[in-house]
Amino acid sequence: MISKLFSPITLGNLVLDNRIVISPMCQYSAENGQATDWHLIHLGHLAMSGAGLLFIEATAIAPEGRISAGDLGLWSDLTEMALARVIQAVRQYSSMPIAIQLAHAGRKASTKVPWEGGQSIAKGNGGWQTVSPSILPYASGDPHPHALDATDLQRICQDFVSAAQRAHRLGVDVIELHAAHGYLLHQLLSPLSNVRNDQFGGSLENRMRFPLEVFEAIRSVVPEESPVGIRISATDWVEGGWDIEQSVVFVKELQRRGCTFVDVSSGGLSPLQQISIEPGYQVRFAEKIRQETGLTTIAVGLITEPEQAETIIATGQADMVALARGMLYDPRWPWHAAAKLGAQVIAPKQYWRSQPQAFKTLFKQ
């Protein structure tokens, strides 16, 4: 039987060789927002993995939008030039399509890198002023964010647009807007973090307003045939917060504005979240959104086994699957999945002779 996981899929004007996506994974290794040799090594070896699509990590649209001082950025000519060097080097040896996730951390910005604890850093201690739709901090003891006014929101929207234009100029194939994991756009969507009483708060329509405006603005400056999608948290996993029903409404509004795909994750908005983690624990959210909207969906979350990924695609739970930590642990996961499922992957010519005798037709030649 022909593997569904290794069947092609079309996003806008782009045909992916298979349905395996390498998720955006923060590396906290940039310098003043600029990509370094670490990014060249990291993205370079993942580009040899045989996946269908490679995401660059969450990329800040402004300095204050970084999670940490080590975050990658795309807000200036210098950050654009640094990323261009990496992309050009990767493209020299890999034909894998490249995507970028554009992000603003909002109140979850100004933190230490994970291996130093990840705690919030106050402005006077080397951090910077965070922003959010309301003055509510992420966690008790965190500095209060600045509540964004209409002028602030207009500026941030333009920052997203400018970053999208830079990404398109760099030749990035796919743009994803980050509206998940408790970062700024998610903060606007959730009633737990957005307690405004103006046109950007209160009702679901109002809470969706700014994220939809940002999406529309990005979509308007990127060619119609170029894929533009979004990552959402389908639920906050907190009673009274953002949930799957609101997510469905949001995705339908995105569809009307030309959204190509939705990358369905969950959580990250509140330390009070209660998540029952098990293999594929978020897949049901992608499945419901796909059933309710028909939009192309990416499922994420503890998808680790080839047979598991195959089932998700074959049964119509999602159109693609994304791997993150599992891909870091096994950067040749698509090779091994193809071997198990009787499929083929694209691999560099320099590696063709590495095929085990039992899988001598594994690589497309």
What separation in angstroms does the CA of 137 have from each of 89, 130, 193, 267, 330? 40, 9, 8, 16, 36
Q: Span 211-219, mean pLDDT?
A: 98
Residue-wise DSSP of 216-247 = HHHHHHS-TTS-EEEEEES--SSTTS--HHHH
Residue 188 token pair: 């606007």
State how far the Cα of 160 lies from the Cα of 60, in Å rounded to an integer.
9
Return the bridge partners of 296, or none.
Answer: 261
138 is catalytic: no
For position 195, what pLDDT does the model report? 98
> Which helix (DSSP H) or strand (DSSP E) does residue 270 occupy?
none
Residue 321 clears pLDDT 90, i.e. is over it: yes
Does the pLDDT at position 276 exceed 90? no
Which listed residue (183, 281, 329, 351) is catalytic? 183
- Phi and psi dihedrals of 251, rounded to 5? -65, -40
Q: At residue 277, does pLDDT exceed 90? A: no
Angle at 244 between CA 250 and CA 6, to 5 degrees: 85
At 69-78, the pLDDT tens digits run 999 999 999 9
Whole-number Cα distances in Å, 180 to 19, 186, 236: 21, 5, 9
- When pLDDT is averaged across residues 325-354 and rounded to a whole number, the result is 95
Quick one: what percent of the chain has pLDDT higher than 90?
94
Q: Is residue 52 a contact partner of residue 18, using CB atoms and an 8 Å limit?
A: yes
The C-alpha R_g of the chain, in whole angstroms, comes to 20
Structure tokens, 163: 């970053």
Q: Is the pLDDT of residue 259 over 90?
A: yes
pLDDT for 140-151, tens place per residue? Answer: 989 999 999 999
Answer yes or no: is pLDDT of 236 > 80: yes
- Please spell the DSSP secondary structure of 283-301, one letter per residue: HHHHHHHHHHH--EEEE-S
- Count of C-beta atoms within a 10 Å radius of residue 158: 14
What percent of the chain is modeled with pLDDT above 70?
A: 100
Q: Supply the pLDDT for residue 360.
A: 86
**pLDDT band with cut points at 50, 70 and 90 for residue 80:** very high
Read off the pLDDT band of 208 (50, 70, 90): very high
Tally helices (H) and strands (E) across the chain.
10, 12
pLDDT tens string 36-73: 999 999 999 999 999 999 999 999 999 999 999 999 99
Q: Which domains can be identified in the chain, with CATH numbers? A: 9-359 (3.20.20.70)
pLDDT of residue 279: 87
pLDDT over 90 (residue 316): yes
Band of residue 124 on the pLDDT scale cut at 50, 70, 90: confident
Please say if the pLDDT value at position 358 is more than 90: no
The region of weakest confidence among 90-99, 194-203, 268-277 is 268-277
Q: In whole numbers, what is the pLDDT of the chain averaged over residues?
A: 96
Under 8 Å between Cβ of 149 and 139: no
The answer for residues whose C-beta is within 8 angstroms of residue 220's C-beta and 6 or more apart is none
Q: What is the pTM of this model?
A: 0.96
The angle that helices 204-221 and 150-169 make with each other, rounded to 10 degrees, is 30
Mean pLDDT value across residues 254-272: 97
Task: Map tokens 């640094």 to a residue.
Answer: 82
User: Tokens in use for 59?
Assistant: 């990329």
